[in-house]
Chains A and B, each alone.
Chain A
Amino acid sequence: MINLEDTTYNEARDGMIPMVAGIYPAHVCGLEAKELQTKSGEQTVFNITFLIADEVANTQVAKMVKNGNGEFHQDNHKDGQPKTISAVFMKGKKFSSTGIWLTPSPQEGQGWKNRKYKEFFEHLGVIFPTDKNSNTLLAIVEEEDIIGYPCLIKLNKEEYQKDGVTRSVWKVFDAFQWSDGAKLTSDEVSGDDLPF
């Protein structure tokens, strides 16, 4: 072996930075709706895509390092206090929400199926009208209604089985209106800055 000068590798310093579950500032950058025929009749599933905001650079997340088994664990200082790093590496990443289901004209006693739909979009800042009996009049949310909305997203791993193996994907489980954030235009969140 030929020795190299000033060429070292340290997992804690140079290892891959894994994503960490938590709350991140973001903007809505897309919404897809698919109509499906299910056991419950016709339903629509909504998937919202979020773009992590520049302000994430000011936040700190737990520093994770690999152990001998190749698994990530929290890196601590000598006194046991957890090490943190800037979450700047999350800036510009896109994440999709878990499926948000809408059941139009639900049968008697099935109105609960639209609870998540109502609460998810209300948390984002969508205002549904109400009737004189204080019932919320649900409506189909379109991309133009929420594109560029500033929000705080709750990011975590969703596990699923494929070919008998447990796999995971990062998903947005909840989103909250970020009143201190600035609304962006659809161009600003589209990310289609092609040079030609």
Chain B
Amino acid sequence: MGKLTVNEAAKLQESGVLSKKAIEEMQEKGLVSTRRRNNKRYLKTANGTYVTPQLYFQGLAGNKYSTKMTELKNKFNELANEYTTEKKG
């Protein structure tokens, strides 16, 4: 079974359906994601097709991000944003 994304929970909070406390409780129970998913970004290959760069921490296996990992992820996203676009083309 899935869980609510951070964006879905935020929209429900904006509309007054969910309180901040309820979202925190749902996150503790694993019903709401704790990380925001970025929009997919694209980069053109030499053959004209599109690819999406991704950062992957092999061996994470459910462990929490460290400060250094978050720092790397943020720097990676900045770099990826520099080279990619939100839309193909």
Contacts and interface: CB of A to CB of B under 8 A. Distances in A.
Interface of A: 22-23, 25, 55, 58-60, 116, 119-120, 123, 152, 154, 173-174, 176-181
Nearest to A173: B2
A128 B8 CA distance: 28
Contacts of B29: 177
Contact of A152 (B1, B12, B19, B25): B12
A60 B15 contact: yes
A173 B26 CA distance: 18
Given A176-B31, A177-B31, A152 B4 contact: yes
11 contacts: A23-B8, A58-B16, A59-B15, A173-B2, A177-B29, A178-B18, A179-B26, A180-B17, A180-B19, A180-B22, A181-B17
Main secondary structure of the interface of B (DSSP, over half): loop
Contacts, number: 52
Contacts of A176: 3-4, 26, 31-32
B12 A59 contact: yes
B12 A120 contact: no
A123 B1 contact: yes
Identify which of A60, A177, A179 gathers the most chain B CB atoms within 10 Å of its CB. A179
Contacts of B26: 176-177, 179
A119 B1 contact: yes
B12 A179 contact: no
Identify which of B1, B8, B26, B31 gathers the most chain A CB atoms within 10 Å of its CB. B1
Interface string B17-51: 11100100110010110000000000000000000
A4 to B, nearest CB: 39
Nearest to A120: B1
B22 A25 contact: no
